[in-house]
Amino acid sequence: MHGSLFHPEEKYSETLRKVVIWVVDIIAAAVFALLLFIWFGTGVPVQGRSMEPTILTGEQVYLDRIAYRLVSPDRFDCVVFLRGGEYSVRRIAGLPGETVQIADGILYIDGEETALPGTGDLIQYAGLASEPVVLGFDEYFVLGDNINGSEDSRQALTGNIRESEIVGRVWGHRAGSRIEFLHEKS
């Protein structure tokens, strides 16, 4: 008969255990979400027209800060780099060790014609790349998607960027009230 008696202490203990597990699960999920946001959801505002029409001035880009700890940046990745305390968004055209040149409006990488994604326009201004630019072991040549209205590696003010200056890879941007995802090699 003793085993069939109701024990309120046991019921209270079981309820308390369930509440504690529930609270711990919520805290763990919140910490995990915060870490994901820090690694993959960091927003950087875009200033200037260099990445138009892909990304407009005033939009917010979201970047992956982890990717380049695992793999190296690749051609045509859209990246955020930090120079002089300011963030810039550009697309990688030239990789470490390559030779970049712009001649007759066309981009050449190691002497081979390389088509830029999203534009059929001839490059009107070659700048520093009018002569061959040999990239160092940790240097990247970046161009804006607004190929004829961008400040990028063709100008001495930007020049080649070092891998240590790259903050992360852009995975999306806020366009109005929605987030648009950039596709690799877009």
Tell me: pLDDT of 150 over 70.
Answer: yes
* Order of strands across the sheet that contains 106-109: 112-113, 106-109, 99-103, 133-134
CATH superfamily for domain 43-181: Umud Fragment, subunit A (2.10.109.10)
pLDDT band at 81 (very low <50, low <70, confident <90, very high): very high
Regarding pTM above 0.95, the answer is: no
Give the three-class secondary structure for 182.
Answer: coil
Q: What distance in Å separates the CA atoms of residue 111 and residue 131, rounded to the nearest whole number? A: 12
What number of other Cβ atoms are within 10 A of residue 182's Cβ?
18
Tell me: pLDDT of 186 over 50.
Answer: no
Q: What distance in Å separates the CA atoms of residue 22 and residue 175, rounded to the nearest whole number? A: 37
12: its two tokens: 């209270």
